[in-house]
Amino acid sequence: MTQNRRPRVRALALALGLAVASFSPLHSPDALAREQAAAALPADIAFEEFTLPNGLRVIVHTDRKAPIVAVNIWYHVGAKNEVPGRTGFAHLFEHLMFQSSENHQGEFFTPFELVGATDQNGTTNSDRTNYFQNVPTTALDMALWMESDRMGHFLGAVTWTCWTSSAAWCRTKSARARTSPTARCSSACSRPAIPRAIPTAG
């Protein structure tokens, strides 16, 4: 076969493959209609929602399949709340709040590790900062106490050592994020939707 006929043969094979695939039962009008109908069904996830006297909005979903509880706290503060030219504070505070509080000395992770917590971390984006962990049901009261203590009694425990170590870690993480292909792609994709650049790492 000559060199210039090979692309034509490949194009013909591709066209034939696409034509055959279109007759597949997975792509029949009935299958597509069933798929669209299933996608249109509303999700029915039972939950309770209430607001505490301090203004904290609480959403509770109960699922008793396993004896664990997922605790996820969202603060509606992120990089969008920062002043241009003075960025990084949302991410810095995410890290600072993993340090001591006024009523708990030492890293926030330690008591959670002792009770067998899993998937514990925090993240910051342009809109919010969140902290999450999965704990055994017997440790729910401890998890809620730790979160409330971090929320209400954090400031008095911030030391210069804690501040400088968290700031150094955030600078390293931000520098790494700025050079990663995925962060650069994410920034380029969000630029049309966000009026000004909001740097975030977390």
Per-residue pLDDT of 132-160, as tens digits, reads 999 999 999 999 999 999 888 888 888 88
- What is d(CA 109, CA 8) in angstroms, rounded to the nearest whole number? 62
What pLDDT shows up at residue 59? 95
User: Of residues 142 and 196, which shows the higher confidence score?
Assistant: 142
Q: In Å, what is the CA distance from 126 to each residue of 17, 180, 181, 190, 200? A: 45, 18, 19, 11, 7
- What is d(CA 74, CA 131) in angstroms, rounded to the nearest whole number? 7
60 sits in which H/E element: strand 57-60
- What is d(CA 46, CA 63) in angstroms, rounded to the nearest whole number? 9
What pLDDT shows up at residue 73? 94
- What is d(CA 41, CA 36) in angstroms, rounded to the nearest whole number? 9
What pLDDT shows up at residue 77? 87
What pLDDT shows up at residue 114? 95
Q: In Å, what is the CA distance from 25 to each residue of 13, 16, 159, 163? A: 21, 17, 65, 61
The class level of CATH for 67-190 reads alpha beta
In which region does residue 107 sit, left (phi positive, over 0), alpha (psi from -120 to 50) or beta (all else)? beta
Query: Which residue bears the tokens 């910051």?
Result: 124
| Catalytic one of 82, 94, 102, 113 | 94
- Which positions ≥6 away from 199 have C-beta within 8 Å? 79, 87, 88, 174, 178
What pLDDT shows up at residue 11? 66
- What is d(CA 134, CA 91) in angstroms, rounded to the nearest whole number? 22
What pLDDT shows up at residue 81? 86
What pLDDT shows up at residue 6? 63
Q: What letters, b where the CB count within 10 A reaches 16 and e where it falls short, cover 124-139? A: bbeebbbbebbbbeeb
Is residue 94 flagged as an active site residue?
A: yes
Q: Give the number of residues written for the chain.
A: 202
pLDDT in tens, 84-127: 877 788 888 888 888 888 898 888 899 999 999 999 999 988 88
